Amino acid sequence: MGLSNVKMFHDGDSITVREIAGTIDHSLLRPDITTAELVEGCALAKEYHCVSVCVRPSDLPVVARELKDSGVLVTTVAAFPHGTATTESKVFETIDAIEKGAVEVDVVMNYARFLSGEFDYVQEELARVAAAAHGRGALLKVIFENHYLTGDQIAHACRIAEKAGVDFVKTSTGYAPSGSKIEDLKIMRASVSPDIMVKSAGGVKTLDQALAVLATGTVRIGTRSTKAILEEAAQREREGKLFVRF
């Protein structure tokens, strides 16, 4: 699944509310979320036609049930949020998640090993996780946690991830001191081929922030603020003012 299957937006493009919703992975990853809140979150994602709901691994049975036949994808995380699980654990988490209904898995890169210069370790680990996902028909996103990386390191991580065979590169978990930044997204989009997609997560809370993200060529947004973003988009659409802007 490459960018040939996904619509990209550019600065100044018009965009619909439905198209914005089709880029949103509605995030339900807060550690204190209750089962009732999971059900409510799934209902919201179905109402607004989000592309997916991203949940904690233990929540997959609930969410898979709630989203069945809705067209909203089931997404989860692995080695979240620090990326320091063993390779074997990451592979197991990925397989287990897919067996429980996930069709996309967002795995956290071992950025401590990356910062240690152990690039072969990082690439081999991601390759094994990607193989586990692809062998079961799922997509793999890799979370870099860009807060801890320089621009050059982000570009290098992108190249490693592409060589490993991932489907998406992703900015952050939302649990580091900072999240998605426009400049980082530009670096990521420029550092991978058209076959690799870019996901922004962490700190996208308003419509204008979402539109600025989409203008970089990013095709997915992970956010908790789905309702606020899409309600503002609906109002702006009625006024004929809904455009992608930096």
Give the active site residues: 106, 170, 199
Written as one string, the DSSP assignment of the chain is --GGGS----TT-B--HHHHHTTEEEEE--TT--HHHHHHHHHHHHHHT-SEEEE-GGGHHHHHHHHTTSSPEEEEEESTTT--S-HHHHHHHHHHHHHTT-SEEEEEP-HHHHHTT-HHHHHHHHHHHHHHHHTTT-EEEEE--GGG--HHHHHHHHHHHHHHT-SEEE---S-SS----HHHHHHHHHHS-TTSEEEEESS--SHHHHHHHHTTT--EEEES-HHHHHHHHHHHHHTT--B---
